[in-house]
């Protein structure tokens, strides 16, 4: 799901509301999501009496930890956290953390593309560039992976081995804001355009985090609120609409790239 801003929103909300609580019980409601759960290890990490440390984000993954170990939660396309009504189990509630104070937290994921992976070092989760750091982007954009590559720049922006956290929505929105077509090959993107992307991406992601992420279709925040950044989607899912740049008479187009939809204005994105 959830790209960086949505995962960050969950991390902040969970930190605010659950960090420091003592676990009384840990429940898995099925044996797998995308991959089998490592049940013994998860049960040890979230064993009775352990304290949930401050959740945080690495790339698109959410880290849940206690003094017994760390777990990276990937939300896939449809994963989310909501307060649990345990012992009542919500539809698609696959994991429940129950705390001593009587509160409970549910991991819900209809499509089950997510996974829970215990880890020891952060480098197991991501070694990619941090898209919140302009310097980090400038550095990766000057690597051969970008400067010499014949793949599309949109595809490369979404490559989690290169940059950790940008998915379809924010790739498309960043390219619109930078005036670069998603169809352009990396090797054809100019230095000043990479510089522009480096400035735009952290700013846009920060703005999205501040808005609580993007809500498209069913994604909700911890307490069911919608995010606000979808109001700021300038091209995403706007095929056929007028370009949002005041004086531009362009019409937003859609095309499929690497199996994913891209939208762009053919007049202001070359």
In the set 57, 60, 177, 184, the catalytic residue is 60
Peptide bond into 67 cis (omega under 30): no
* 253 forms part of the interface with DNA (CB under 7 A): no
* 188 forms part of the interface with DNA (CB under 7 A): no
CA distance linking residue 194 with residue 196, whole number of Å? 5
CA distance linking residue 52 with residue 63, whole number of Å? 11
* 215 forms part of the interface with DNA (CB under 7 A): yes
- CA dihedral sign, ordered 111, 70, 62, 222: positive
Exactly one of 66, 74, 96, 181 binds DNA (CB under 7 A); which one? 74
Give me the least distance between CB of 91 and DNA, in Å please.
Answer: 6
2 is catalytic: yes
* 130 forms part of the interface with DNA (CB under 7 A): no
CA distance linking residue 64 with residue 57, whole number of Å? 9
* 240 forms part of the interface with DNA (CB under 7 A): no
Nearer to DNA, 218 or 246 (CB): 218
Nearer to DNA, 91 or 121 (CB): 91
CA distance linking residue 215 with residue 103, whole number of Å? 26
Alpha helices by DSSP H, the chain: 4-18, 39-45, 134-141, 144-147, 153-157, 168-178, 191-210
Which are the catalytic amino acids? 2-3, 60, 260
**Binding footprint of DNA on the chain (CB under 7 A):** 1-3, 6, 34, 60, 74, 76-78, 91-92, 110-113, 149-152, 155, 158, 160, 167-169, 213-219, 227, 256-261
């Amino acid at each position: 799901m959830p790209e960086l801003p949505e995962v960050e929103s969950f991390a902040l909300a969970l930190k605010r509301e659950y960090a420091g609580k003592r676990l009384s019980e840990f429940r898995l409601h099925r044996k797998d999501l995308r991959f089998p759960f490592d049940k013994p290890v998860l049960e040890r990490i979230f064993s009775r009496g352990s304290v949930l440390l401050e959740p945080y984000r690495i790339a698109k993954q959410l880290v849940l930890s206690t003094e017994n170990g760390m777990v990276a939660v990937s939300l896939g396309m449809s994963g989310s956290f909501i307060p649990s009504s345990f012992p009542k189990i919500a539809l698609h509630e696959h994991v429940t953390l129950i705390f001593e104070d009587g509160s409970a937290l549910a991991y819900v994921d209809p499509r089950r593309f997510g996974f829970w992976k215990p880890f020891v070092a952060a480098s197991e989760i991501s070694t990619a560039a941090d898209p919140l750091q302009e310097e980090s982007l400038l550095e990766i954009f000057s690597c051969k992976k970008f400067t010499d590559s014949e793949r599309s720049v949109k595809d490369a922006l979404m490559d989690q081995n290169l940059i950790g956290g940008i998915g379809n929505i924010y790739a498309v929105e960043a390219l619109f804001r930078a005036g670069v077509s998603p169809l352009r090959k990396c090797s054809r993107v100019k230095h000043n355009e990479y510089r522009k992307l480096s400035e735009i991406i952290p700013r846009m992601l920060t703005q999205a985090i501040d808005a609580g992420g993007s809500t498209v279709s069913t994604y909700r925040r911890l307490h069911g609120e919608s995010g606000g950044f979808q109001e700021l989607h300038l091209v995403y899912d706007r095929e056929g609409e007028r370009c949002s740049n005041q004086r531009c008479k362009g019409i937003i187009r859609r095309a499929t790239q690497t199996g994913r939809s891209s939208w762009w204005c053919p007049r202001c994105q070359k």
